[in-house]
Amino acid sequence: MHRWSSLFVPTLREVPSDAEVASHKFLLRAGYVRQMGAGLYSFLLLGQRSLNKITAIVRDEMDRIGQEFLLPALLPAELWQQSGRWTTMGENMFRLKDRKGADLCLGMTHEEVMTDIARRELRSYKQLPQIWYQIQTKFRDEPRPKSGLLRVRQFLMKDSYSFDMDEDGLDRSYALHDAAYRAIFTRCGLEFVAVEADSGAMGGSQSQEFMVYTEAGEDLIASSAVTGYAANLEKATSRLAPVEDLAPTGDGLPELVHTPGKAAIADVAAFFAISPAQDIKCVAYIAHTEGASGTAGAQPVAAFLRGDHMVNETKLLGVLGAGELRTMNGDELEQWLGGPAGYLGPLGLERAQALGGPGLTVVVDRALEGRRNLVCGANRLDYHYRNVTPGRDFRWTVLADIRNAREGEDAPDAPPGTAAPLRIGKAVEIGHIFKLGYRYAEALGARVLDANGREVTPIMGSYGIGIERILTAAIEQAAAGAPDGNGLALPRAIAPFEVVITVTNVRDAELLATGEQLARELEAAGIDVLLDDRDERAGVKFKDADLVGIPLRVNVGKKVAEGQVEVVDRRAGKSVDVALGELVTHLQKH
RNA sequence: CGGGGCGUAGCGCAGCCUGGUAGCGCAUCUGCUUUGGGAGCAGAGGGCCGGGGGUUCGAAUCCCUCCGCCCCGACCA
């Protein structure tokens, strides 16, 4: 039986000044964790119990689709050199040398190691598919650990890897993970959305992130409750409301207009008495292509969008196949566009004929496609054009979606004529599933024989869950829904204890005996119970019970004389009196 | 890495400007009273004032330097 009087639960009355986000404050105040350094935390009793609850759920679901391994976290450089990531991981990887001077690193992910096992051991298509997973500590030298447990340098990850014969097989492994992840997060009591994610530099074909909406999050996601659409803002698209084009003026051809001092879009729109949606804006960049050898090529890029839209640099990078963007400085604007910021436009530019070709790459956002009689800069100080029609008056290197979707725009999959406004909000990523393809299997030379006796490369997927992030996301979610001041309660499945029995006065032998008896009964019924038998005033124990996040509290006090105890459901904010003999059944069906 | 803030008792803070050898609240320990929402009274313990160097008769306080932590940005398979 767990007796609070003999446990180490160092609750704090005041929040350490370093903590800002709700989950960090909670974890410190409730005595779940203590900080060692930036992004390094020790888990104490309550924190570790919660993590154990979470990993038990993860194991339970993962064991249905895969097999648990445990790989080393200390890894030789050689594998990473073979995959090429010894260099591309850069400073995010913790590196060290052993006594012989050999290079080692601390694992930040385990594609290489799992693939190494696969290439040594898998020989035949008869052995596939395989799904191998582990729950293990990962190390990442983050440039800026922050927000308590949300971004740390050492954390637990459930990572799994699938090996299949072909894309259909990969689709099945991916779907199995999708279903398992949904089951895991649901059992952990989280409200989450699965979003389309940017596949990024990994080059995979499909990728999905599992996100929990919270103000403490670092990602922005767009979702529609109507259609179920959900995507990371890096990838989200939207259906735009139609815009009425302006009527042409004069002969309908581009007309140069003197616009002194009208550089900002709002000023230009006011000057012409138009909406920013009738304007073309330009953002000019120098893109750097990621050269693995370090020989990065600089490429000038002019991006044109509707005046009221924002460039999505992740999308733009994807279109360009580049690794890095920075905006042009004044000299570069003069060199490539011939005009100053605020007066840039697409007319008369000498553009690259193809992506990667020499000259200025002109990227036009799809929202400008089919538009007519727009206003844009003239690449000349204090001048704009009107009557500008894309396609007729200027051309481009590439037409692509490079803008950010905005809150309130309709989801892209909304049927025509129906409303499906997007909600855009901050979110924290708790899981990620990813179709890797052949990259690692090829780089490391994993091959199996197919039914025809030919060597083929297995296709891989990789899938991750941040264990601590399940806890922090659940806390953030509970904090968002909790009335302030009274503490918060965790979902029963991941709370360190399901029930706390608060004996209001342990010097009353009858109350203490009743509390102990009830705790024994609950324990026998398989309920995870904590008996608060401390010799403290009732108020102190109530406050502590509220603070540590246990969702159900049983008050053993005055009403025992009438054969009753008070059961407080902290998540529901309700309390009821229950007869002593019915407590177990009451809490079981709760 | 750029910008900002902060390191004084377990936690929260004052003292620093204007140098004179450290203080408050909570927590902890002891005693008495109290006992259903962080009790009251009385007493006690606890500090290389982040480290190093300098100025000075004297440094928590002024100067230099290093380290650490937090926030914004950059970054984040």
The confidence score (pLDDT) of residue A325 equals: 82
Q: Assess whether A157 (CB) lies less than 7 A from strand B.
A: yes
CA distance linking residue A211 with residue A236, whole number of Å: 14
Residue among A68, A65, A58 at smallest CA distance from A190: A58
Residues of A 171-200 whose CB lies less than 7 Å from any atom of strand B: 200
For the CA of A541 and the C1' of B32, the distance in angstroms is 23
β-strand pairing of A298-306 with A280-288: antiparallel
A86: DSSP letter: H
- Helix ranges (DSSP H) in A128-245: 167-187
pLDDT digits (tens, 9 = 90+) for A526-542: 999 999 999 999 999 99
CA distance linking residue A237 with residue A402, whole number of Å: 9
pLDDT digits (tens, 9 = 90+) for A42-69: 999 999 999 999 999 999 999 999 999 9
Q: Assess whether A17 (CB) lies less than 7 A from strand B.
A: yes
A291 pLDDT exceeds 50?
no
- What is this model's ipTM? 0.95
A294 pLDDT exceeds 50?
no
Q: Assess whether A539 (CB) lies less than 7 A from strand B.
A: yes
Helix, strand, coil tally for chain A in percent (to 5): 30, 30, 40
Nearest nucleotide (CA of A544 to C1'): B38
pLDDT digits (tens, 9 = 90+) for A442-479: 999 999 999 999 999 999 999 999 999 999 999 999 99
Count of positions (residues) in chain A: 590
pLDDT-based confidence at residue A328 (cuts at 50, 70, 90): confident
Q: Assess whether A280 (CB) lies less than 7 A from strand B.
A: no
For the CA of A115 and the C1' of B38, the distance in angstroms is 55
* Token code pair at residue A125: 């298509």
pLDDT-based confidence at residue A34 (cuts at 50, 70, 90): very high
The confidence score (pLDDT) of residue A493 equals: 97
A216: DSSP letter: T
The confidence score (pLDDT) of residue A200 equals: 56
Residues of A 231-260 whose CB lies less than 7 Å from any atom of strand B: none
A293 pLDDT exceeds 50?
no
Residue among A58, A52, A8 at smallest CA distance from A30: A8
Q: Assess whether A341 (CB) lies less than 7 A from strand B.
A: no
CB of A131 within 8 A of CB of A174? no
CA distance linking residue A254 with residue A376, whole number of Å: 10
Residues of A 381-410 whose CB lies less than 7 Å from any atom of strand B: none
Q: Assess whether A54 (CB) lies less than 7 A from strand B.
A: no
A483 pLDDT exceeds 80?
no
For the CA of A166 and the C1' of B21, the distance in angstroms is 78
* Token code pair at residue A448: 């199996």
The confidence score (pLDDT) of residue A296 equals: 54
Which domains, from first to last, does chain A contain?
22-74+107-236+424-475 (3.30.930.10), 255-400 (3.90.960.10), 497-588 (3.40.50.800)
pLDDT digits (tens, 9 = 90+) for A108-164: 999 999 999 999 999 999 999 999 999 999 999 998 999 999 999 999 999 999 999
The confidence score (pLDDT) of residue A292 equals: 41
Protein residue closest to B37, using CA and C1': A539
List, in sequence order, every residue forming a beta bridge with A245; answer none if it has no partner: none
CA distances from A24 to A60, A191, A458, A479, A547 (A): 28, 20, 42, 11, 13
Sequence-distant (6+) residues with CB within 8 A of A548 are A9, A11, A30, A31, A32, A46, A487, A496, A500
Nucleotides of B under 7 A from a protein CB: 1, 6, 11-13, 25-27, 34-39, 68-77
Residues of A 551-580 whose CB lies less than 7 Å from any atom of strand B: 555-559, 566, 568
For the CA of A20 and the C1' of B35, the distance in angstroms is 36
Mean pLDDT across chain A:
92
Nearest nucleotide (CA of A152 to C1'): B76
Segment A350-369 mean pLDDT: 91
A353: DSSP letter: S
pLDDT digits (tens, 9 = 90+) for A92-113: 999 999 999 999 999 999 999 9
Q: Assess whether A342 (CB) lies less than 7 A from strand B.
A: no
The confidence score (pLDDT) of residue A574 equals: 92
Q: Which residue's structure tokens are 């203590």?
A: A34
Instruction: Name the least confident of A344-358, A381-395, A534-548.
Output: A344-358
Residue among A549, A545, A519, A517 at smallest CA distance from A531: A519
β-strand pairing of A219-223 with A423-437: antiparallel
Residue A326 CA to chain centroid, in angstroms?
25
Q: Assess whether A516 (CB) lies less than 7 A from strand B.
A: no
End-to-end CA distance of chain A: 22
Percentage with pLDDT > 90 across chain A: 83
Q: Which residues of A16-26 are buried (b: 16+ CB within 10 A; e: fewer)?
A: eeebebbbbbb
Q: Assess whether A13 (CB) lies less than 7 A from strand B.
A: yes
A9 pLDDT exceeds 60?
yes
The confidence score (pLDDT) of residue A485 equals: 60
Instruction: Using CB atoms within 10 Å of the CB of residue A421, give its burial: 0 to 12 exposed, 13 to 18 middle, 19+ buried.
Output: middle
pLDDT-based confidence at residue A482 (cuts at 50, 70, 90): confident
Residues of A 85-104 whose CB lies less than 7 Å from any atom of strand B: 89, 92
The confidence score (pLDDT) of residue A323 equals: 74
For the CA of A294 and the C1' of B59, the distance in angstroms is 52
Q: Assess whether A80 (CB) lies less than 7 A from strand B.
A: no
pLDDT digits (tens, 9 = 90+) for A164-209: 999 999 999 999 999 999 999 999 999 999 998 876 555 567 899 9
Nearest nucleotide (CA of A157 to C1'): B77
Peptide bond into A10 cis (omega under 30): no
CA distance linking residue A25 with residue A372, whole number of Å: 54
pLDDT digits (tens, 9 = 90+) for A218-228: 999 999 999 99
The larger pLDDT score, comparing residue A118 to residue A480, is at A118
Percentage with pLDDT > 70 across chain A: 97
For the CA of A544 and the C1' of B33, the distance in angstroms is 24
Q: Assess whether A109 (CB) lies less than 7 A from strand B.
A: yes
Q: Containing H/E element for A586?
A: helix A583-588
